[in-house]
């Protein structure tokens, strides 16, 4: 079965990577669907976010990376998939995730959301936390892959130069 793992991935973290890897052990194909929302301000462009995920899974044939805009359920229908993967970190994630799971089910009754619990070491981690710490000169290199750290450092440099 093909599953969709949607998100902003601005940028992808080791927490996301851990969920994707674990999902790929249960699903034949995991499509990481990088969301484009024109109302949202991202640090990295859509293509950059996609490439950073792709570079994290060069060796995993079960993981594909794509982009989408609009409703997740419409993208799922196009992909011929009924399964959504979501990571759950703490109980505070649950309220919002449950609301999204029910909305998606309401819009597309065949859709099922599969929650994978974060490993403890990633339970505080998010793309926003990574950016916050990096922009303030902190060290979080064990929570993002090297290529993402490099991209963040380059982005910070460009922003400082401008």
Interaction site with ligand PNS (CB under 6 A):
6-8, 35, 71-72, 100, 103-104
Pick the closer one to ligand PNS by CB: 1 or 102: 102
CA torsion through residues 121, 66, 111, 7, sign: positive
Q: Is 40 a catalytic residue?
A: yes
Closer residue to ligand PNS (CB): 43 or 72: 72
- Assign residue 137 a region: left if phi > 0, alpha if psi is -120 to 50, beta otherwise? left
> CA angle 130-134-13, nearest 5°?
30
- Least distance in Å: CB of 10 to ligand PNS? 8
The active-site residue out of 8, 50, 127, 131 is 127
Q: How far are the Cα atoms of 19, 43, 154, 161 from residue 158, in angstroms, in the given order?
A: 31, 12, 6, 5
64: annotated active-site residue:
no
Which entry of 49, 50, 86, 89 is annotated as an active-site residue?
Answer: 89
Q: Which of 39, 40, 61, 160 is catalytic?
A: 40
Is 128 a catalytic site residue?
no
Instruction: Give the active site residues.
Output: 16, 40, 89, 127
């Amino acid at each position: 079965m093909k599953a969709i793992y949607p998100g902003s991935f601005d940028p992808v973290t080791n927490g996301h990577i851990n969920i994707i890897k674990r999902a790929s052990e249960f699903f034949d194909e995991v499509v990481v669907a990088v969301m484009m929302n024109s109302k949202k301000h991202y640090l990295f462009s859509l293509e950059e976010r996609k490439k950073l995920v792709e570079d994290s899974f060069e060796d995993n044939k079960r993981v594909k990376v794509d982009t989408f805009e609009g409703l997740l359920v419409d993208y799922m229908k196009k992909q011929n998939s009924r399964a959504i993967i979501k990571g759950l970190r703490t109980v505070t994630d649950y309220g919002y995730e449950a609301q999204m799971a029910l909305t998606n089910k309401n819009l597309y009754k065949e859709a099922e959301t599969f929650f994978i619990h974060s490993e403890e070491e990633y339970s505080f981690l998010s793309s926003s936390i990574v950016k916050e710490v990096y922009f303030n000169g902190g060290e979080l290199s064990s929570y993002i892959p090297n290529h993402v750290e490099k991209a963040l450092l380059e982005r910070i440099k460009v922003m400082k130069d401008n």
